[in-house]
Structure 1
Amino acid sequence: MKSFIKCLLRFEGKGTDLHEGILGTVSAYYGCVEAQGRGTLHCHMLIWLEGGLNPNEIKDRILQNEEQSFKECLLQYLEDTISTCIPELPEEDISIPNQTCHPCSTRGVNFQNTTEEDGLETMRKKDIHLLAKKCQTHRHLKTCWKYWRGPPEPKECQFDLDKKNIHLISLTDPITGEITLKCLDGLVNHFNASILEAMRCNMDIKFIGSGPAAKTILYYITDYITKSQLKTHVALAAMETAIHKLEIYDPNDDDCTLRAKKMLQKCAHSMISHQELLAQQVCSYLMDFEDHFTSHEYRGLYWTNFESFVEECNPSPECNQSSIIDDDTVPKISHSHSGDTEGALDEPNEEFEHRPVEGTLDDDGVYVEQLQNDEIRIGSDNFGNLVPKATQVMDYLHRDDKFSNICI
């Protein structure tokens, strides 16, 4: 991955001179390493290009009639960068090292010992053809229909790869601004020919542009980076094991609180000991290989704190359906402010002041619910100096005007 970043992206570090790489001039990147169920290590990476526009700016310029040249240049760049079909096999019959074995098992064409007179360009085209055919062509397996509920629901591949996904030309939607790339083979994962030739492994590349497709990609990325490393079935199996161990009643342990604490402790230990780690992951940790690659330093954002604050200010109907009960026994809340909603909200209510709230820890391990909005805590910096600290939510809400453009 370091070679990929240095040689192909040509990013040599923050603060250094920028160089144009395979995709353009890279200004930032963020990549996470993950292991598949079969143990294959792979990396999900976001790449920002120097001068790149955000999805809203791209949409605005695409929808402007006078920006026709911008649309043409953007589509031309995407077609040059992203391949959506298997390149044709050269007509000239020429031999290359990997034509008798899997193309990923060799280093491909030897650039140093091959010249144009020897047919270097033809050999490279044949090499890329074999690589794309072996690595990028999708074959439907049981995993593709994982979320299919059966008839009458249409049977669609969860990876959105189908023979019918054909687009003869690249175009933009005049209403949503969505970009649709030319695609001559609906069963091919999109790839960059230069990256495929150099890395010699399967890949997928997408452009985060505008419209519903961009929103789908952003949702997938957000869902991916926030998902729990502990799978649900592993956690439930660990808890079941811990509960079975505590089923044998010990008369000496008559304290219910003590037994409850022991159960929680055993559950936690079981979850840790029952983690699924593949051999490739273990080797990667033992060899001290990176599990992520970043161009910048980032501070942790404790999203649950913000989520709890938003939920408190504007409760979600979907998440609180169970609390909506049409029962005369439930006390009704009435306001005597003649429609003055703000006054009603400002007035304290004993019923809600002592309402138990789901505990949310902040970055210092303190429950957010225990802190008042105006409470300041004392912490220490890297040099041991005492500094005032507040929760990230309060820091964000009361940020200075110069940070008003920063939006969570």
Structure 2
Amino acid sequence: PQDVQDQLQAVRKGTTRTEHRKRSRQAEETTSPGSEAEKAGDSTVSGWHTLEEEHAKDFLNIPSKEELQQIQTEYLGRTAQSALEEGVCGVCARETRKAELTWHKLDDLPNPSLLNPLKPHKAQVLQGGKLLEPEGITNDGLQTNVGRTDDPSTLQRGMVGNVTSFPLNTRKIIKMIDGQKLPQPIGILPAMIAITFVGAKNLPKNWLKGMLRVRRAKVAMALRWLITNNTLYQKFTLDRERLAQLPEDDVPVELLAVVRQETDVSVLTEEADSYIPGDLEMGDEENRANLAADQELGSVQLAHLGATESAIETQTDRDALVNAVLNLAKEGTYDIRPGQRFVKDFPDRREQADGAPNYSASAFPTLFPYGVGGIESQANIGFIEHIRYCLLLSDRRFRTHHSFPFIMFGIYQKRQALVAARIQVRQRDIDHVSRDIAKVTRADLLAAAAEKEKGLPFSNDRVKKLLYNVKLTSGRILGTDQSRAALRSKIWSTAVFMGPPSIWMTINPADIHDPIAQLFCGEEIDLEQFNDLQGQCANNVVRAQNIANDPYTAAKYFHMMILIILEALFGIRATSRATYCRKGLLGKVSAYTGAVEAQNRASLHLHVLLWLVPGGTVGSPTAAEMREKFQSAEFRETVRNFIQANIHAGVPGLTKTTLATIPRESDIAYSQPPNPTAPNFEEQFKHRLLRLARNLQVHVCVRGACKRYDIAKGTWTCKRRAPWPESEVAVVNPDGTWCPVRHYGMVNNFHPQLLVFAQCNGDIKLLTNGAETKNITWYIAKYATKAQKHLFNTSALLATALAYHFEDSTYLDDVRARSQLLLFRCFQGLNRHQEQAAPQVISYLMGWDDCFLSHEFVPLY
């Protein structure tokens, strides 16, 4: 509201600002920001200031040559081997930074009795009766490998999706599963697995064998081990007749019979859309030759998506609906459908003894091979704390499992949904709302779905009210589109307090090619004496395989690199007590708000708004102040110098004519940045900049990806507005419009220092509040927090997912209880179709947010 904004501005401009600044200085002295900077890994802490101090002279002030070298050196220090190397804690077996580990003799440890296991187990390795580095399952034991193939083009499809586990309907499958015998009948496979490949060429059978092979001896060995050692499997017996039905080493014919192939590869065009040029599209022939010599390369991380009954029945295409139901719901004489209840994944605090049912221990025998130690199996360890411990384990079996993170995240969201629904139904007007939404029928939702498909607004007020309450409930649940939308208000709140933003950036850390990411994957890499031609990581297929297999590493690498870039290169550091800034590449940055987004190839990138240290009376210059400043030739020259230093769209030697003569290098980022203290640093920097700009910043328009058909113009246009204007010099006009140096119209904007040192694709724009950028903050706030892609509309999801709610007469009659259950079921129906990238799911589980904020926000109402 305008009155709230006026009050905030009055407080901000009033006399209380001086008192607030004094209190901030006192807090700065008390908290000793120098020591905090040292803890954060900063090599230099001189020049840090609280953001409440005015620095008008620092607005658009670029660093000097000496300051620039200091920034470069600090970045290299933060990304050095000594700062990044990790070791294993001998007590908890978790990966920890070596700098935080210290050597201790067992006899010198305080309270050594705490290392005595509460429940001794035969698999534990004890040192003097103490539990140190518990021995878990190894790669040559029960843990299975993902499928392998010699086609590197299938790599880096990543683990994306959402998994919901249902119990099978016992009445329908009682004839298939005979009591307590293992293995299960092989005929059950086609009723549970659907296989579809997309590709124009014929599908070689050996590719299928790489992913779907069944080896009878391996299955027998694993089952015998589980029956002998796992308390949850001791009631089962090994059925030799069923075992004999398994192939010795081949794909079961039951699966081959249901394999389907889509030859129209254009359906993948949009899915492959990315800001970053193809990671594996260059140098394929050389990699294929290498793969031919070693068939163990090329591990495929299959896309892991949750499929429920509503995923079939909500298709809008009638043919797709009929085919899906016929092909997937019925296979042969079996009719297997998910049950009506979820698996019991809440812990029973009354049953903590060995052998008590535990969802995770039962669902993941390769992760909990002895049937003990499942998530929440101990009452004093919380759900999310236990998951984080598992993901940090040095043997990496939990983080590399294809479904464990997704299922745990689904359970986490479900519990948040229950809490959010309870909060929602305790609102003051819920009695009035409940009466309306309880009257919504299946027919109402189907009618609303039809209106949605036609692009019409909803005509039913009760349906509107239902969807509104569902949105409010989902807004309190981690990872939902509605919760991401909350960042918009934080962006606008920052703009109200700090003024308009100054810089818009996109940063795409190169997880596949960065040696740092490969170091986190466990590869033996010496960053100090780096050689990009030695070791198996010299092959980009191996690097892609490492990242695809370990989404935890991909998430950790991304969040660490973004923090280092913000703190070391841009000079802004946010702590729980205050935010500090010093001169960085862009001058002094006073605030930032950034949204993390997953690309279609499942890697993460950041859209971030940056506020430069105040250049107006208070906060960043307003639109009126900027218009006045741009009338000054001196200020336009300052802006021009800022653009020349920070925003490039061209490199000497990179033109449309010379583009074909500059080699395309897929491994360009698999290297170390040049050392600023080297005598030939300037020459190295220019040469490196040209190669990186050619390989990472040249945009290529592709139909179905960035090119869209403009009906009004009757032509295909690029949604990113390429090609961009060319210019031999940086131009700044009195109306606030500007243009960087660009010799070729398909080169995107980039920051030269960020490109050379972080070695990743990016974008940067200066927001001058001119004619072309006056509304960009609104666009950015909407774009950076845009909803993830959905295949189905909301009303259709609700119509199918809520069928059980309307048909079951056993529900409580209390309106408030029905409303609470209804809201929860609505979210569950929507969530079944929510696609999440594996690194994003890991980020949520580890407490790494999907946004980067320099300031904390508290809702007023």
Relative to the length of structure 2, the TM-score reads: 0.30
Q: Is 1:274 aligned to residue 839 of structure 2?
A: no
Structure 1 residues 173 and 21: CA distance shift in structure 2, 3 A? closer
Secondary structure of the 1:156 match is strand
Unaligned runs of 5+ in 1: 90-97, 302-362, 364-408
Structure 1 residues 182 and 59: CA distance shift in structure 2, 3 A? farther
Aligned length: 283
Alpha-carbon offset, residue 233 of structure 1: 2.9
Aligned to 2:7: none
Aligned to 2:747: 188
1:2-401 alignment, distance < 5 Å: 2-13=563-574, 18-52=581-615, 53-63=621-631, 67-88=632-653, 102-109=667-674, 115-116=678-679, 119-141=680-702, 142-146=704-708, 148-150=709-711, 152-162=713-723, 165-174=725-734, 176-224=735-783, 227-228=786-787, 231=790, 233=792, 235-245=794-804, 249=807, 265-300=824-859, 363=861
Checking the alignment, whether the CA contact within 8 Å between 2:579 and 2:854 is kept in structure 1 is: no
Alpha-carbon offset, residue 192 of structure 1: 0.7
Aligned to 1:371: none
Structure 1 residues 181 and 210: CA distance shift in structure 2, 3 A? farther
Structure 1 residues 296 and 258: CA distance shift in structure 2, 3 A? closer
Checking the alignment, whether the CA contact within 8 Å between 1:87 and 1:128 is kept in structure 2 is: no
Secondary structure of the 2:567 match is helix
Alpha-carbon offset, residue 215 of structure 1: 2.2
Checking the alignment, whether the CA contact within 8 Å between 2:689 and 2:755 is kept in structure 1 is: yes
Unaligned runs of 5+ in 2: 1-561, 616-620, 655-662
Aligned to 1:340: none
Higher mean displacement: 47-56 or 227-236: 227-236
CA distance in 2, matches of 1:120, 1:168: 25
Structure 1 residues 183 and 124: CA distance shift in structure 2, 3 A? closer
CA distance in 2, matches of 1:152, 1:107: 46
Structure 1 residues 40 and 109: CA distance shift in structure 2, 3 A? same
Structure 1 residues 268 and 19: CA distance shift in structure 2, 3 A? closer
Give deviations 1:82-132, integer Å, cap 9, x for gaps: 00113437xxxxxxxx996521222233567xx32xx43322222111111
Structure 1 residues 172 and 154: CA distance shift in structure 2, 3 A? farther
Higher relative contact order (CA 8 A, sep 6+): 2
| Aligned CA-pair RMSD | 3.4
CA distance in 1, matches of 2:765, 2:752: 14
CA distance in 1, matches of 2:754, 2:810: 66
Aligned residues with identical type, % of pairs? 29
Structure 1 residues 279 and 252: CA distance shift in structure 2, 3 A? closer
CA distance in 2, matches of 1:62, 1:21: 24
CA distance in 2, matches of 1:216, 1:208: 10
CA distance in 2, matches of 1:272, 1:100: 40
CA distance in 1, matches of 2:582, 2:817: 62
CA distance in 2, matches of 1:224, 1:267: 26
Letter in 2 for 1:203: G
Alpha-carbon offset, residue 265 of structure 1: 4.7
Give deviations 1:235-276, integer Å, cap 9, x for gaps: 3453243145568x56888x8x89985765532221234321
Aligned to 1:403: none
Letter in 2 for 1:292: C
Give deviations 1:306-332, integer Å, cap 9, x for gaps: xxxxxxxxxxxxxxxxxxxxxxxxxxx
Aligned to 1:347: none
Structure 1 residues 6 and 138: CA distance shift in structure 2, 3 A? same
Structure 1 residues 170 and 56: CA distance shift in structure 2, 3 A? farther
Secondary structure of the 2:595 match is strand
Aligned to 1:326: none
Letter in 2 for 1:158: K
Structure 1 residues 59 and 183: CA distance shift in structure 2, 3 A? farther
Secondary structure of the 1:31 match is strand
CA distance in 2, matches of 1:240, 1:106: 53
Aligned to 1:402: none
Secondary structure of the 1:203 match is strand
Letter in 1 for 2:585: I
